Amino acid sequence: MPRVRKAVPEEINLTSPQYYFNRELSWLEFNNRVLHEAFDPRTLLLERLKFMAIFSSNLDEFFMVRVAALKQQVEAEVHQLSPDGRSPEAQIEAIAHRLRPMAQQQDRHFEEAIRPQLAAKGIYLLNYIDLNQEQRLYLQSYFEEQIFPVLTPLAVDPGHPFPHISNLSLNLAVVVKDVETKEEHFARVKVPDVLPRFIVLPPDLQVEVKGDRPFGQAFP
C-alpha cells in the first residue's frame, strides 16, 4: 500500500505588506465610525452634534501627532516603508484621499440634517448675513468693546518672519492698511482663547420665529 505523503504547509512570509493594515488609515476608519454615530437618527439630537465635535477634535490630534510625524519624515528624507508597504509620502496622499470625502460628508450632514433639526427645536446658528439691522448694531458694539481691544495684528514682511502658530488656536489672515500712507500689509491676527466662539444675542434681539423659519434669516 503506497504511503500518503503529508502536505508541507507553505511558509508564510510575515514581512509581506499584504498581511498588514496601515496604522493611520485604520485610525481614520475608527474615527469614521465616530462620525456615523452622528448620522444615526436614533441618537439624541445634541448627542449627534457632540459626536460631530468629537470627530473633529480627534482629527485635530491626528494631524498634530501622526500627520506631523509623517511630514517630518518627508522633510528628513526618510524612505523607510510602513509594514503595509507605504512610504511617508504615500501615506500622506492616502490620508488625504480617504479623509476628504469624510469631511465633506460631515459638512453636508450638518447643513442638511443637524442644522435644520436644531432650528426646529429653537436653536439657531446665525451668520452675519442672516442678521437684521438691530442685531448687527449690537454685534458691532460688542466687537468694539469686547473683541477689538484684545486683538494684536502681527505684520508679515521681510523684517517680520511668519510667526509661530500655536496648536488649536484660531488665527485670521488679514490685510491691514496704514490710514496715513494707504500702504497695505499682510498680517496674522490670533484670536485669544478668552473670547467665545459663539455669541448669544440678548433676549430682546433673538430670532423671531414664523412657522419653522427664523425671521430675517436665509435658512435652508
**C-alpha to C-alpha distances, 74 to 63, 77, 79, 96, nearest whole angstrom:** 15, 5, 8, 15
pLDDT at 1 over 80: no
Say if residue 116 is in the same domain as residue 144. no
Residue 99 lies in a domain: yes
Structural domain ending residue among the three candidates 120, 148, 181: 120
Say if residue 39 is in the same domain as residue 69. yes
Average the pLDDT over 165-188 and give the result. Answer: 86
CATH number at residue 86: 1.20.58.310
Q: Is 65 exposed, middle or buried (0-12, 13-18, 19+ CB in 10 A)?
A: exposed
To 10 degrees, what angle do helices 68-75 and 88-109 make?
A: 150
Say if residue 108 is in the same domain as residue 138. no
> So what's the pLDDT on residue 8?
60
The residue among 80 and 210 whose pLDDT is bigger is 80
pLDDT at 101 over 50: yes
CB 91 within 8 A of CB 196: no
Residue 10 lies in a domain: no
CB 111 within 8 A of CB 218: no
pLDDT over 70 percentage in the chain: 90
DSSP line for 48-74: HHHHHHHHHHHHHHHIIIIIHHHHHHH
Residue 4 lies in a domain: no
Say if residue 59 is in the same domain as residue 149. no
Residue 96 lies in a domain: yes
Say if residue 116 is in the same domain as residue 22. yes
pLDDT at 65 over 60: yes
Residue 11 lies in a domain: no
Dihedral of CA atoms 216, 208, 48, 100 in degrees, nearest 10, equals 10
Tell me how many degrees the CA angle 220-101-95 measures, rounded to the nearest 5: 150
Residue 190's beta-bridge partner residues? Answer: 171
> So what's the pLDDT on residue 215?
44
Residue 12 lies in a domain: no
Say if residue 135 is in the same domain as residue 60. no
Say if residue 28 is in the same domain as residue 112. yes
Average the pLDDT over 8-20 and give the result. Answer: 76
Q: Is 108 exposed, middle or buried (0-12, 13-18, 19+ CB in 10 A)?
A: exposed
H/E segment holding residue 34: helix 23-37
Say if residue 140 is in the same domain as residue 165. yes
* Number of domains present in the structure of the chain: 2
- Domain encompassing residue 85: 17-120
CB 155 within 8 A of CB 115: no
> What length is written for the chain?
220
> So what's the pLDDT on residue 153?
85
Say if residue 210 is in the same domain as residue 147. yes
The tens digit of pLDDT for each residue in 115-132 reads 999 999 888 888 888 888
Residue 45 lies in a domain: yes
Average the pLDDT over 181-206 and give the result. Answer: 87
Q: What is the rounded CA–CA span in Å between residue 165 and residue 156?
A: 13
> So what's the pLDDT on residue 182?
84
Residue 5 lies in a domain: no
Mean pLDDT across the chain, nearest whole number? 86
pLDDT at 194 over 70: yes
pLDDT at 10 over 80: no
Say if residue 143 is in the same domain as residue 210. yes
Say if residue 49 is in the same domain as residue 70. yes
